[in-house]
A and B are shown apart, each in its own frame.
Chain A
Amino acid sequence: MTVLLLAEHDTAAIADATLRALAAARQIGSEVHVLVAGSGAGAVADAAARLDGVARVLLADSENYDQMLAEPVAALLASLADGYDAIVAASTAVGKSVMPRVAALLDVMQVSDVVAVDGPKTFKRPIYAGNAIQTVTSSDATIVATIRTAGFQAAGEGGSAVVEAVSGPEPAALSEFVENFTVTSDRPELTSARVVVSGGRALGSAEAFERLLTPLADALGAAIGASRAAVDAGYAPNTCQVGQTGKIVAPDLYIAAGISGAIQHLAGMKDAKVIVAINSDADAPIFQLADFGLVADIFTALPELTAALEARAR
């Protein structure tokens, strides 16, 4: 079994999600090749070649793949599919856009959001917002899958693969990149953070969200998340949303502040090792899931918690 893994990168470094997807790829097949597509991504390819468990790196260096748009990248992957038993990518915005297009080009079904590999063609995946886990086996010749990375450990260094240049078909001019609006943050990335502090509607305003959660996140070295209600109300940017249709996280510690615990939110965080809920409503569903629950007003409890953590650090 040879597996082709699509790497995600910013032309400087490989995304953490890809490092985690590599662990899943290694469980699917004995030999893993990594495809690095982009312009000026040579350094990324070299870094990929040093990853533990990578047998070969394919570098498609072309402006066509600059922003990893679905059309050219899917065409490239489909053109390389011969000789691979499986093609996988992390379940990121890029992976989710590109891979189903690849699957259709190869006339195979995709297995989305794999959380466990039970065999080369048998996978576990969550359905119904994570309220059921399905084990599926594929009858297709080529496996196309996206990996839900929260449950897999990031691969380390220790490999010495060869880098080989490849090229794909010249893409038809179907789509064009216009611009990116990136939310910059010096905090840990939400999906790979060890600690996540999340706020909900109860915060009441963007100002309170910032004032209460930022110092707590600073004290813990945590990423900041949010419920859909908080995002819809404009308290936090969309990129912070944790849940079925936002980001899926599985940190060591997840602190839910003023979040009731709707099914759709739980889908994004219930695999955290330790869940803490702080909510003034003792009947909030989040308490059924939380390892440690504190029934308290978040406006007093959060500053108190921040102060206690800061005192400890000193």
Chain B
Amino acid sequence: MKIIVAVKRVVDFNVKVRVKSDGTGVETANVKMSMNPFDEIAVEEALRLREAGVATEVIAVSIGPAQAQETIRTAIAMGADRGILVRTDNAVEPLAVAKVLSALVAEEQPGLVILGKQAIDDDAGQVGQMLSALVGWPVATFASKLVVADGRAEVTREVDGGLQTVEVKLPAVVTTDLRLNQPRYATLPNIMKAKSKRLDDRPLADLGVDAASRLTVLKTEEPPRRKGGIKVGSVAELVEKLRDEAGVL
């Protein structure tokens, strides 16, 4: 079976983002961008399934501007077989991304779609679940273990009180949690080879998806700043401050 992996180009997780002074968003010009960390985990898991003989082809898909090609090339350098860029310069909300993916699912007929559990820029955590609804498949979110056999996937999920194992019928949508695997690095020879692999570049308009925004961002602001604290010299002083000044003991 084929596996589609959705990858997103986001501001690198180590960058401390700055809110624009006019309140229209955060500064993304001249900021280091990378593949969303959860998506690296998704790519890794798809590759492992191919290496185990469960999958035959891994297709990396991204939706965004032309630069998102780099993110797809990274996935290919990790080992994905080919890529699809659905190109748009506009911001795309999770619902529209899910619709684009469902159009690609209809074309490619994968047995599994693996996505990260959330993107670290909008922190929405919606696309996988939305896609599952649109295509009428089961969804297993926050996967920390995935076993595929006999047309079913047994997925161990990270839930609030511990772990939960569910079994879903394939085709299915799975979203990855941090502990699913340790993503591999792309080696230099593979990065070079990735440049010659197939990457379809398709304008969003070609997929017939209405990607109009449903949410309007009125403003983006800095979170309230904490006032500077003090350093104490000893445990005794700390206890005293917590009791008398802060009143939390």
Contacts and interface: CB of A to CB of B under 8 A. Distances in A.
Interface in B129-154: 129-134, 136-142, 144, 154
Interface stretch (A28-36, A156-164, A175-183): A175-183
B165 A112 contact: no
A14 interface: no
A291 B125 contact: no
Interface stretch (B57-65, B80-88, B237-245): B237-245
A134 B220 contact: yes
A64 interface: no
Interface in A145-181: 172-181
A97 B218 contact: no
A270 B222 CA distance: 13
B214 A108 contact: yes
B232 A100 contact: no
A40 interface: no
B137 A110 contact: no
Interface string A288-306: 1111111110000100110
Contacts of B130: 100-101, 103-104, 110
A79 interface: no
Nearest to B243: A312
Contact of B26 (A132, A176, A180, A287): A132
A139 B93 CA distance: 13
Nearest to A177: B166
B242 A182 contact: no
Interface residues of B, number: 82
Interface in A190-215: 191, 195
Q: Using C-beta atoms within 8 Å of the partner chain, give the interface range for chain A.
A: 35 or more
Given A129-B120, A173-B169, A291-B246, A122 B218 contact: yes
Contacts of B93: 109
A152 B95 CA distance: 27
B159 A93 contact: yes
Contact of A110 (B124, B141, B163, B172): B124
Contacts of A289: 226, 229
A74 B130 CA distance: 11
Given A245-B178, A293-B229, A127 B166 contact: no
Contacts of B219: 134-135
B229 A290 contact: yes
Nearest to B37: A245
Interface string B209-244: 000001111111111001011111011101101110
B123 A129 contact: yes
A128 B129 CA distance: 21
A152 B234 CA distance: 34
B122 interface: yes
A76 B214 CA distance: 24
Nearest to B140: A175
B218 A110 contact: no
Nearest to A109: B214
B223 A131 contact: yes
Contacts of A260: none
A175 B171 CA distance: 11
A120 interface: no
A76 B247 CA distance: 46
Given A109-B214, A290-B229, A292-B241, A274 B161 contact: no
Contacts of A174: 137-138, 168-169, 172
Given A92-B160, A183-B161, A270-B226, A128 B117 contact: no
A275 B238 CA distance: 12
A134 B121 CA distance: 12
A102 B179 CA distance: 27
A2 interface: no
B13 to A, nearest CB: 7
Contacts of B138: 70-71, 174-175
Contacts of A238: 144, 158, 163, 179
A110 B126 CA distance: 8
Interface of A: 67, 69-71, 74, 92-94, 96-105, 107-113, 122, 126-140, 172-183, 191, 195, 220, 228, 232, 237-239, 244-245, 247, 252-253, 263-264, 270, 273-276, 287-296, 301, 304-305, 308-309, 312
Given A101-B133, A131-B16, A134-B219, 8 more contacts: A100-B133, A133-B222, A180-B159, A238-B144, A274-B248, A288-B228, A291-B226, A291-B246
Q: Lowest 7 CB-CB distances: which A-B pairs, in order?
A: A100-B129, A174-B138, A104-B133, A104-B130, A100-B126, A109-B214, A291-B229
